[in-house]
Amino acid sequence: MNEFIDLIKEREIGKCLENASLKNFTSYKVGGKASCIVYPKNTKKLIELLKLCNNRGVKYKVLGNGTNTLFSDNDFEGVIIKLDEFNNLSMITPTTIRVGAGYSLIKLALFATKKALSGLEFACGIPGTVGGAVYMNAGAYKSDMGYVVKRVKVLTPNYTVINMTNAELHFHYRSSFFQQHPDYICLEAIIGLKKGNREEMIAINQDRKARRQASQPLEYPSAGSVFRNPEGNFAGKLIEDLGLKGLTKGGAQVSEKHANFVINLGNATASDIKELITFVHDTVLEKYDIDLKIEQEFVNWD
């Protein structure tokens, strides 16, 4: 792996962090170490990096802000790819934005509010990147990325860059084309919004921020909602009704503030968190015959 890292540096792919703890790159603040974390300078360098990995059998993972990901405690023997350099933002029309995959979703939502462009108010509390949000079809308050993404620039497994339309991206509740085709990489998105009232939008954002602070355990490391809401019900209510609020495994806990959050009390391992999530899932399945879908992505587990 050292030889491979030397090759990345020699070819000037981008900034390269060696033997980096994934605790510093995920919102759960857990995980082993990655052999290296690479920030490709541009699409050309990203393609060069992917070819290096594929030709040499080195595994890789494209990671946004790590706000929906649970890495295992084992070291990740491969390359973590961060698209932070893909952070361009520009206006195409008065209501259409071109934005890079590495751009902060919250920052984008605040930009839209400043410009009095409505449609992204749901995203003001989602701490991911645009690319990660497109991948997961992130959403809240009965809206999601599928309502605002017009098209996406995509890097295919054949190293070609194509544009995909909203219809081709198969957006559904917390789901998209990218989850079924993880070898396709979102490079940038075209976001279509509509003119809004800036003062009303600011009021909505402030109200929702207050509601999040009151109802969610934002003071602890977590990855947001653990389970998708089953149709016609709420995962948090199912978990709470079973008396699982406050349930602890090692340093992980089912939040006493919101039962659909698992939090790191400060010394949790990734295994603590995963075992707790699995226990809650299995308990709901046993008691209610409801198979809750886990929203978070488990990476580097056997």
Verify that 23 and 61 share a domain, yes or no: yes
Verify that 261 and 224 share a domain, yes or no: yes
pLDDT at residue 74 is higher than 90: yes
Q: Which of 121, 225, 255, 297 is catalytic?
A: 225
Assign residue 234 the CATH number of its domain.
Answer: 3.90.78.10
Task: Supply the pLDDT for residue 172.
Answer: 94
Q: Which of 143, 203, 152 is nearest to 174 (CA)?
A: 143
Asked if residues 238 and 290 have their Cβ atoms less than 8 Å apart, the reply is yes
Verify that 168 and 221 share a domain, yes or no: no
Q: Which of 98, 174, 208, 228 is catalytic?
A: 174
Asked whether residue 290 is domain-assigned, the answer is yes
What is the extent of the structural domain holding 282? 216-299
Asked whether residue 208 is domain-assigned, the answer is no
Asked whether residue 227 is domain-assigned, the answer is yes
pLDDT at residue 198 is higher than 90: yes
- Structure token digits, residue 168: 């081709």
pTM of the predicted model as reported, rounded to 2 decimal places: 0.94
Verify that 243 and 172 share a domain, yes or no: no
What is the rounded average pLDDT of the residues 74-100?
A: 98
Verify that 182 and 104 share a domain, yes or no: yes
Asked whether residue 252 is domain-assigned, the answer is yes
7-51 pLDDT, tens digit per residue, is: 999 999 999 999 999 999 999 999 999 999 999 999 999 999 999
Verify that 58 and 102 share a domain, yes or no: no
- The neighbouring-strand residues paired with 191 are 97, 149
234-268 pLDDT, tens digit per residue, is: 999 999 999 999 999 999 999 999 999 999 999 99
Asked whether residue 76 is domain-assigned, the answer is yes
Asked whether residue 192 is domain-assigned, the answer is yes
The C-alpha atoms of residue 274 and residue 262 are separated, in whole angstroms, by 9
What is the rounded average pLDDT of the residues 80-102?
A: 98
Q: Which of 48, 85, 295, 297 is catalytic?
A: 295
Verify that 101 and 186 share a domain, yes or no: yes
Active site residue 215: no
Task: Supply the pLDDT for residue 150.
Answer: 98
Q: Which of 99, 88, 98, 102 is nearest to 39 (CA)?
A: 102
Assign residue 95 the CATH number of its domain.
Answer: 3.30.465.10
Q: What is the CA radius of gyration of the chain?
A: 20
Last residue of a domain, one of 57, 82, 107: 82
Active site residue 256: no
Verify that 102 and 189 share a domain, yes or no: yes
Verify that 71 and 117 share a domain, yes or no: no
Tell me whether strands 59-63 and 76-82 are parallel, antiparallel or unpaired. Answer: parallel
Asked whether residue 21 is domain-assigned, the answer is yes
CA distances from 177 to 90, 185, 267 (A): 25, 11, 36
The C-alpha atoms of residue 100 and residue 140 are separated, in whole angstroms, by 21
What is the rounded average pLDDT of the residues 140-156?
A: 96
How many separate domains does the chain show? 3
Verify that 32 and 125 share a domain, yes or no: no
Strand, helix or coil for residue 171: coil
Last residue of a domain, one of 50, 82, 114: 82
Which of the 8 DSSP states describes residue 121? G
Assign residue 51 the CATH number of its domain.
Answer: 3.30.43.10
Verify that 195 and 291 share a domain, yes or no: no
Asked whether residue 207 is domain-assigned, the answer is no
Verify that 119 and 70 share a domain, yes or no: no
Last residue of a domain, one of 170, 200, 230: 200
pLDDT at residue 302 is higher than 90: no
Active site residue 72: no
